[in-house]
Amino acid sequence: MLNIYKAKPKASLLGKTITFSIDSNDYEVHGISQHEKKIVFVSAALPGERVQAKVTEDKAAFIKASTVKVLQASPLRITPPCEYARACGGCQLQHLGVTSQRELKQQGIDKLICHQTGLTVLPWQPMLIADDSGYRRRARISIWYDKKQRQFSVGFRQHADKHIVAVNHCMVLSPKLAPVFNVLNAVLPQLQDPMAVTHAEVLQAGDTAYVILRHIKPISAHDQTLFVDAWPEAVWLGEAEPGKFCYWHNTVTPQYQLSEQALTLQFSPNDFIQVNAVLNQQMVSQALSWLDVNSNDVILDLYAGIGNFTLALAQRAKTVRALEGVAEMVQQLETNAKVNGLSNVEAYQADLHLAWPKTSWNKPDYNKVLLDPARAGAAGAIEQIVRLKPAQILYVSCNAATFARDAKMLLQNGYTLAKVCGVDMFTHTSHLELMALFSRS
């Protein structure tokens, strides 16, 4: 009988605490190290540091770990300004000053894009920035009822963990939304069924606060009144099923303004809007400037949502055709165009990742294209955009990795990267958005 030798698989490092020396950082400002010929990504670790970190993933090609103790600190490391920072999963970079956060995020993204595209120098423009506190106009708040302790936890989930960090304030949440924690902590224990509410979402629309309570059991009129009376200035809604809302008192449609363009955009509570109103305005204004929009332009706006960029483009362009995958948002975009008196907007529903149909909007008469896809990027759409051969393409990205992939495709099809800038939409997090202008060679 032939015996074939098989090497024993190496024991997993999962859960073990190991000391790592950090050499550099990636585009999400994770520290990078090496261990047994594997690359290691260590959260909350900075270049030049030695840390003890607990292994959270052990894969064939890489390891992920989370810092538990800093043995040798970087000069860049600071004491987090928020008391919950070490436990709360919302802000990953509070161990860095704001300027250092922005520098390391951009440096990491620069390396990523250059590596993926083969470019050696990127045409960086000044980063779009705003206040580093009180900037979030939307947040999801976790609610958990412990049946044994008969206590509620109201707050945010720990990093890479289902457990909830109970908080009574959040430094990045808009001051208009700040009362929500005290109100929830006061009212939830009074409910007839304490397990009925599973989470809350707060959003600020103009000067109005909205609170949407997701509930898995009916909320009685008595319990609804408890919430409304505790914070009557807010608009309260129940959400028994995803996307199905019931206003508990005032039926006020959410809306926000783009003040520089004198535009008002209405939206449903489950529609996507940018969480940072100040930076959203800067992005819209910069898009108009970079594309140099004029009355001769025929513009294609992809992943258009409720018309955040569309309406501003339409104020200056000849025609804007806007494509969006969600039917309800297409309808909202059409409504917003009418409310703002814009008759040169055409809105269509389309799955942009599939083969584009032969239809009125799919024709090569566009000289400019703007796209603002979700984190998955524009795979499938990019190939079809280049067939239209627009002179300029403005790409707004919320994921540097998928942007790098799509940018490579544009460069391979005769476009040059003319401008790129970071947008620090979520200060204190590892997230950096991008705006990039491509011109046809």
Cβ neighbours of 358 (radius 10 Å): 7
**pLDDT tens, residue by residue, 347-383:** 999 999 999 999 989 988 999 999 999 999 999 999 9
Q: In this structure, are strands 415-423 and 433-440 parallel, antiparallel, or unpaired?
A: antiparallel
Contacts of 12 (CB under 8 A, 6+ apart): 58
At residue 161, the pLDDT reads 75
Helices 98-117 and 400-412: crossing angle in degrees, nearest 10, is: 40
| 398 neighbors 355 (Cβ within 8 angstroms) | no
At residue 6, the pLDDT reads 55
CA neighbor of 171 nearest in space, from 132, 128, 212: 132
At residue 4, the pLDDT reads 59
- What is the CA angle 187-190-196, rounded to 5? 85
Q: What is the mean pLDDT of each run of 10 residues along the chain (441 residues)?
A: 56 90 96 94 96 94 95 97 92 96 97 97 98 97 91 88 90 97 96 94 96 95 97 96 92 95 96 96 98 98 98 98 96 98 97 92 94 96 96 98 98 97 97 97 76
At residue 250, the pLDDT reads 84
At residue 132, the pLDDT reads 97
Question: CA 115, CA 135: separation in Å to the nearest integer?
Answer: 33
Burial class of 271 by CB neighbour count within 10 A (0 to 12, 13 to 18, 19+) = middle
pTM of structure: 0.94
At residue 40, the pLDDT reads 97
CA neighbor of 356 nearest in space, from 395, 385, 329: 385
At residue 86, the pLDDT reads 87
Q: Residue 263 corresponds to which tokens in the numbers above?
A: 């535009």
At residue 159, the pLDDT reads 76
Strands (E), 158-215: 164-166, 197-205, 208-215
At residue 184, the pLDDT reads 97
At residue 218, the pLDDT reads 93
CA distances in angstroms from 342 to 264, 312, 338, 347, listed in the order given: 12, 10, 6, 12
At residue 162, the pLDDT reads 78
Helix (H), strand (E) at residue 8 = none
Residue 88 bears catalytic tag: no
Instruction: Report how far apart the first and last C-alpha atoms of the chain are (Å, whole number).
Output: 67
At residue 369, the pLDDT reads 98
Q: Which of 91, 170, 398, 421 is catalytic?
A: 398
At residue 441, the pLDDT reads 76
Burial class of 77 by CB neighbour count within 10 A (0 to 12, 13 to 18, 19+) = middle
User: Which 8-state DSSP code applies to residue 127?
Assistant: P
